[in-house]
Amino acid sequence: MSKFDPCFEQVLADATARNMRRSVRPLAAAAPGRIVSAGRELLNFSGNDYLGLARHPLLTERAADWAQRYGAGAQASRLVTGTLDAHTQVEAKLARLKGTEAALLFASGWQLNASVLPALIRGLGTRGQVEVYTDKLVHASMHHGCQAAGIRQIRFRHNDLAHLDRLLTERAAAGVRRIIVTESVFSMDGDRADVPALAALADRHEVFLYLDEAHATGVLGPHGMGLSGLAPGGVDLIMGTFSKALGGFGAYVAGSQALCDFLVNTCSGFIYSTGLPPSVLGAMDAALDLVPGMDTDRAHLARLSEGLRDGLRAQGRDTGASSTQIVPAMVGDAGDAVALSARLNDAGMLAVAIRPPTVPPGTSRLRIALSAAHTEDDVDRLLDALARDPLRSAA
């Protein structure tokens, strides 16, 4: 008990009153596309294991093998004694698959964005002013990175490249370096950016393009290696994660050799973090071997996603501009979204309610995330449960 607990308890009470209180729930792993909660197996429509690789035997076997071979941890930061042959092996394999000169591993996507952006902003601003143009719906880690750099974001309307083009044209000034920060697939809406058009726009205005591929890596683009593959050489910095479709943990930057060398020397999230452990690297390495050959799984996932969108819309539910494996079922009110999620849980399905501040006020939703491990029958079960639910109004 701390004398400051009443302060914390008041904040929690306020969150409860607004249907915004969050809590962690113990869950146990099950077969891909399933999860165990309170002793019950549920269909899992909230995880990011888009290809069902989290329990793939090749990932778990290589994770165990590399832990046996290299030990449990890297023991130090990468610039001290924490760089193993395993790190450089994974980075070289990733760069080949991404079609870039180099790649660099980080602990997580949040840590990467929050530390790479300040380093990049400072580096590009050494000889002048820097402006950062961000999509209105970019991830919280990107906002944090810009705030850590002490820079004011210039926000453009979500996926509105005409608006971005106009801002870049109107604000053009000599001596100013500019950065576009956006995502290829947006994690709460499931829509995607037009990456070739973005790359062409960035090239025309001579702007640095920073692209978050966390929810596209493994699922979209040539051989599942992200939508940046649709604009070869057109994206200056590509980041992504291993913790979603690639089934494991960790994140990466892919780009030029000079960019990666620059980050090794300037990025606090790399310099001051212990290197990723060998077991994590083993799972990464195995996923990179598997993903390029999973076109059939990606096609199955796309069919499931389209079928879910069609079914939800037939019920009168708004799915926004989703065109990927992430399908929002808009509800609107936070309390209604929580109640709907609870009723689905009772019916044997996990579909977590997403509320502000993760999404804008009035747009609370179920964020339904599909996996290639799901079947058409699984999606039909979800649609049947939603069709029987009394809450059918769209946001």
In 171-227, where do the E strands start and end? Answer: 176-183, 208-212
Q: Classify burial at 27, counting beta carbons within 10 Å of its beta carbon; exposed 0-12, middle 13-18, buried 19 or more.
A: middle
Catalytic residue among 244, 273, 305, 364: 244
Contact 153, 146 (CB under 8 A): yes
Say whether 158 is catalytic.
no
Strands (DSSP E) contained in the chain are: 28-29, 34-37, 40-44, 102-106, 129-135, 153-156, 176-183, 208-212, 237-241, 251-255, 326-332, 349-350, 353-354, 364-369
* From 44, 46, 48, 141, the catalytic residue: 48
Residue 36 has a CB neighbour count (10 Å cut-off) of 15
Decide if 243 is catalytic: no
Does the active-site annotation cover 265? no
Cα gap 276→293, rounded to integer Å = 26
Main-chain phi, psi angles of 113, to 5 degrees: -60, -40
* Strand (E) or helix (H) holding 203: helix 195-205
Q: Which residues of 218-233 are buried (b: 16+ CB within 10 A; e: fewer)?
A: bbbbeebbbbbbbbee
β-pairing, 153-156 vs 364-369, is unpaired
Integer-rounded Cα radius of gyration of the chain: 21
In sequence order, the 6+-apart residues with CB closer than 8 A to the CB of 275 are 74, 75, 76, 77, 78, 82, 83, 84, 87
Active site residue 136: no
Burial class, 126, CB count within 10 angstroms (exposed 0-12 / middle 13-18 / buried 19+) = exposed
Task: Examine the residue annotation and report whether 205 is marked as an active-site residue of this protein.
Answer: no
Which of 128, 158, 153 is CA-nearest to residue 320?
A: 158
3-state secondary structure 226-281: CHHHHCCCCCCEEEEECCCCCCCCCEEEEECHHHHHHHHHHCHHHHCCECCCHHHH
Annotation marks residue 215 as catalytic: yes
Starting at the edge strand found earlier in the chain, the sheet holding 364-369 runs: 326-332, 364-369, 353-354
Catalytic-role residue among 56, 87, 98, 215: 215
- Active site includes 374? no
Give the active site residues: 48, 139, 183, 187, 212, 215, 244
